[in-house]
Amino acid sequence: MSVVKKVRPLKARRPYDAGLRRARARENRERILVAAERRFLRDGYAPTTVAAIADDVGVSVDTIFKSFGGKPGIIRAIRERALLGEAPLPAERRSDDLQAREPDPRRIIQAWGAFTAELMPRAAPILLLLRDAASTDPELRALLHEMDSDRLRRMTDNARRLHRAGHLREGIGVKQAADVLWTYSSPELYELLVLRRGMPVATYGRFVANAMTAALIHASNKARVVTEAG
């Protein structure tokens, strides 16, 4: 008598979906950053723990450390996210594209003022938090220096483009122009004018544009300065 052995069919494996995995990773990253920013701004830097952020999001502490390397890395990522702006294209890319096609430096600087008004409400709170926390934390002081240096590099690139195009006032070099742009794009100016003085954000953007224009642009350029509206 022969015995027939039944063979169970193998279950087909689901195909590996790398795109879905990346999408889930991006979603988790965004959720972590939103929760961390909320915690930092509500509770402060030192009282906020990675464990508390992980608990808010429903992920492991290891996941956060692997993704960001700890709280300074989270702060860096929040800042990078804020500087993308609100449009589909990152603000830096939009600025570069404008500079490549626009011959009028006043229009370029008006756009910089608008970009500053777009970005600072998103970026300034976390940058000011970092500034205050850095006074007692050497690791954060290094991070603050890194971010300041990065913004100065960007402003120097912008100043160099203005200089190459012959737009700067007589006697203003690249370094001086970069210092002007760096100052007017600072979170401290946003703090003074918007957070302390209550200036509307749109007015603040125009203030920044007009101040940069007055400080930098050659008087022979007769393009109209944007009118200050209160």
pLDDT surpasses 90 at 150? yes
Instruction: Identify whether 7 is part of a domain.
Output: no
Within this chain, do residues 124 and 191 fall inside the same structural domain, yes or no?
yes
Instruction: Identify whether 121 is part of a domain.
Output: yes
pLDDT digits (tens, 9 = 90+) for 65-87: 999 999 999 999 999 999 999 88
Within this chain, do residues 64 and 96 fall inside the same structural domain, yes or no?
no
Rg, C-alpha atoms of the chain? 24
Domain count, the chain: 2
Within this chain, do residues 66 and 130 fall inside the same structural domain, yes or no?
no
Within this chain, do residues 99 and 40 fall inside the same structural domain, yes or no?
no
Q: Give the CATH number for residue 93.
A: 1.10.357
Instruction: Identify whether 49 is part of a domain.
Output: yes
Q: Give the CATH number for residue 64.
A: 1.10.10.60
Given the structure tokens 């940069």, which residue do they identify? 212
C-alpha 113: how far from its chain's center? Answer: 15
**C-alpha dist (Å) from residue 52 to 35, 55, 140, 163, 196:** 9, 5, 20, 49, 31
Instruction: Identify whether 146 is part of a domain.
Output: yes
**C-alpha dist (Å) from residue 174 to 131, 163, 184:** 27, 6, 15
Residue 168, beta-bridge partner list:
217
pLDDT digits (tens, 9 = 90+) for 39-70: 999 999 999 999 999 999 999 999 999 999 99
**C-alpha dist (Å) from residue 200 to 94, 137, 160, 196:** 23, 33, 31, 11
DSSP conformational letter for 104: -
Q: Tell me which amino acid residue 212 is.
A: M
Domain enclosing residue 51, as ranges = 26-70
Within this chain, do residues 30 and 109 fall inside the same structural domain, yes or no?
no
pLDDT digits (tens, 9 = 90+) for 108-124: 999 999 999 999 999 99
Q: Is 70 left (phi over 0), alpha (psi -120 to 50) or beta?
A: left
Within this chain, do residues 56 and 136 fall inside the same structural domain, yes or no?
no
Within this chain, do residues 36 and 88 fall inside the same structural domain, yes or no?
no
